[in-house]
Amino acid sequence: MQFSVHVKPGSRKGPLVETDADTLTVFVRERAVDGAANEGVVRALAAHFDVPPRDVTILRGHSSRHKRVEVDL
pLDDT tens figures, 21-71: 889 999 999 999 999 999 999 999 999 999 999 999 999 999 999 999 999
Residues in a beta bridge with 24: 5, 19
Amino acid, single-letter form, for residue 52: P
CA angle 20, 25, 44 (to 5 degrees): 125
pTM of the full predicted structure? 0.93
* CATH number of the domain located at residue range(s) 2-71 in this protein: 3.30.1200.10
Write down the pLDDT at residue 14: 82
How far is C-alpha 15 from the geometric centre of its chain's CA atoms? 9
